[in-house]
Structure 1
């Protein structure tokens, strides 16, 4: 039986423990942040399920003429992540995707530094 339900982590876990639902899918990052990893029974690998394009990435913008802030923000940049997200977003843009389009993508590097990309367009 499928049951789409909304709610925060605590609500979803309560419904699970009360038997209202048989399973739920939660972000591991959120469970870690809430110190609730004891509730994790399994995790999905990239091979099991591709994430949404740029899922988990945080972007920060500042005023165009604020050189001091731009310099500070540049120090926070993680180049590997920036390159991966740029690749993923290029895929999304090429397909004219949006947050309402079922498009997934994951970019990484192999041991030789080559970009590896997996993409999915669902229906």
Structure 2
């Protein structure tokens, strides 16, 4: 059964916008596969926003610049980024194909599950794309 990913998190407005994990909504078990999938999509949305921000484009502008891809309409992608609809493997393959750091980050995040004592490792700290990382402070 389909679900709205952002309903699984406590702060729906933070979905895809903050660079940390979001606590589960009240009554949602952190081990619930739907919550775990929602957090995967939350991070995916965040990484997409970071990548597009580096290029200085909106999702609509970026999607208009690539060949037509079924299922990747601007409206649907906006809903995916907000967590209103579930992302698919097609979405992941599309964005990771254009921004390889997304594939690396997703791989690192999934690998953190194997290293964690609990299903949701709370201290996973995703990295921004290399060009978006802050510069060291001046001394």
TM above 0.5: no
- Which entry has the higher C-alpha Rg, 1 or 2? 1
The structure with the greater share of residues assigned to strand is 1
Q: TM-score, normalised by structure 1?
A: 0.32
Q: TM-score, normalised by structure 2?
A: 0.30
